[in-house]
Chain A
């Protein structure tokens, strides 16, 4: 983990989603790569503007579902055929049609759990602390009605004065420095 001191980045606040998307698109075109947008509701256009298109949640979901279904079917077969074979009205011990129902439920269960917790893990959550929470206007608006673009200090192009001047050209409400 890099040393947590100095500046995390510059945070520009915008009034409307349209302003944010235009600013994000412009920054990405100008070669910024360590940047992120913060919005109070899902804004796909902003994600596209900063070059974030594909996510791995569906893959995790698929794997979880397949594993869950296979695990349950295997468990049922093992229990009914090997571990505890009992004769119920002369039916075969390997009654696979009856095993489908729990296997189906477990496919859904593990697909769902993988999607939900996989999504949170891929997002790096939980992370109760984040430098952005130090910015006063971020706490006030990011989850309510304001739209933020953050150019991060880790970007090779980053220089506080130049980045600030650059952001000012895009008509933000304000630009603030964010400390670690």
Chain B
């Protein structure tokens, strides 16, 4: 069914296709350039920005306090102990990495599929990826207990001749996550170079000219450069696609390679990847909806984007639902006593609330409502659903890690888990750090790729013989 039937008179709907427009009508190269560069190049920062920045900064201070105390006292200030040695640190690690995945999906996979609607949201989705990976990478490093020895994870020639052990999935993680972070940053930065060139040319202040001049590496838009640039972008997209699929796969190996009931399953890699993309799209919406409103970007980030993100969440949500279903099925079909018990313990054990919370947030609410186009284009509803899904996905990791670890094979080794205030401070501290970085990004870098948006305009297409009479 076409959107035009839903809202016949809406100017946001293209009568030719019956779909929402990818970009608002009547834009020119100059108008979109002005619109996007004014956000950054304005000498007046909106007051609201400072307000959010202050809140996020306070949260980052809280993170610093929590980390300082952690380094002074050790990981004993967290709730981790035997049998739950992983706790919040790994829950947050997996959750944050997962959030990053949608950014790469938008910037790489949708580029390869020539989904042009992605152009407007690709840059800030990539930024989201990078900041999420920063938050994620913090957790394993502070979780090792002696973070100043974190470099032992790298194969460096030490004087004591100790080398890493490459048969461990934790080593694979080091390489998967560091590669993911590096390639994401490079892809993001290379993609920004032409836009930074635009900023250099449009900046008024000397500092801004210098700053963007250096950052843009002297980009001047030569078509010889553009051809090579486009090749490199496509190659990076082609490389980032198998990379993003491998990262959460490798992370799921941390669990699946272990023999613990509830972890030792082959469904984990696809189920983790789908869950990652599911939560990532939720985070894209959590960021995109306020951004388009505060910066008046409704012409560039249109309802089409919100609608499509909703569709992708519906799809990945069903893959996640299949994963949950298969876990339950295998608990019965494997005829394994401990697998069956783990499932029963998750659903009806002492932490049953977390399991049902995750089912409600990830399956019941989104998968019944996202079918409706009316709801998918209801901006307020989509914002709420994005928060709901992110909560649900956090609880998914909580259930996987905590319920499996608290009650494994021997009842004499069972325990419980109750997070401390330091756990919460660290977690909410990284949420603040994420917002802090994102606010800086929005203020100082082009959050919408201008050069890609120009390609969406009809003026960018070459029309044959339009100026034949204007020539000689």
Contact = CB atoms under 8 A, between A and B. Distances in A.
Interface of A: 16-19, 21-22, 36-47, 50, 52, 55, 57-58, 61, 65, 72, 75-76, 79-80, 83-84, 86, 88, 91, 95, 98-99, 101-102, 104-106, 108-109, 111-113, 115-116, 118-120, 122-123, 125-130, 132-133, 138-140, 142-145, 169-171
A76 B154 CA distance: 12
Contact of B167 (A98, A123, A128, A132): A98
B310 interface: no
A144 B33 contact: yes
B213 A128 contact: yes
Contact of B165 (A86, A125, A143, A169): A86
Interface string B60-99: 0000000000000000000000000000000000000000
A18 B235 contact: no
Contacts, number: 227
Contact of A57 (B200, B217, B228): B228
Interface in B243-260: 243, 246, 250, 253
Contact of B220 (A61, A133, A169): A133
21 contacts: A16-B459, A18-B462, A19-B467, A36-B222, A40-B194, A40-B454, A41-B194, A41-B452, A41-B455, A76-B166, A83-B161, A83-B163, A105-B246, A106-B175, A106-B179, A112-B187, A112-B235, A122-B228, A143-B202, A144-B30, A145-B30
B222 A144 contact: no
Contacts of A99: 166
A119 B228 contact: yes
A104 B202 CA distance: 42
B162, B198, B232: most-surrounded residue (chain A CB, <10 A): B232
Interface of B: 28-30, 33, 155, 161-168, 171-172, 175-176, 178-179, 182-183, 186-187, 190, 193-194, 197-198, 200-202, 213-214, 217-232, 235-236, 239-240, 242-243, 246, 250, 253, 451-452, 454-455, 459-464, 466-467, 470-472
A110 to B, nearest CB: 9
Contact of A116 (B202, B218, B227, B236): B236
The 4 nearest A-B residue pairs measured at CB: A145-B29, A119-B232, A126-B217, A84-B163
Contact of A169 (B166, B179, B227, B472): B472
A112 B220 contact: no
Contact of B230 (A42, A72, A91): A42
Given A102-B171, A125-B219, 13 more contacts: A16-B467, A36-B223, A36-B224, A40-B198, A45-B462, A88-B167, A101-B250, A101-B253, A104-B246, A108-B243, A143-B220, A145-B30, A170-B471
B463 to A, nearest CB: 5
A47 B239 contact: no
Contacts of B163: 79-80, 83-84
A37 to B, nearest CB: 4
B231 A55 contact: yes
B222, B253, B470: most-surrounded residue (chain A CB, <10 A): B222
B183 A109 contact: yes
Given A79-B164, A128-B213, A119 B220 contact: no
A119 B229 contact: yes
Contacts of B165: 80, 86, 88
A102 B166 contact: yes
B232 A105 contact: no
B220 A80 contact: no
A16 B468 CA distance: 13
Given A57-B228, A112-B183, A144 B201 contact: yes
A115 B235 contact: yes
Given A50-B223, A125-B219, A144 B183 contact: no
B245 to A, nearest CB: 11
B415 to A, nearest CB: 26
Contacts of A140: 201
A11 to B, nearest CB: 11
A38 B222 contact: yes
Given A18-B466, A40-B198, A139-B201, A171 B223 contact: no
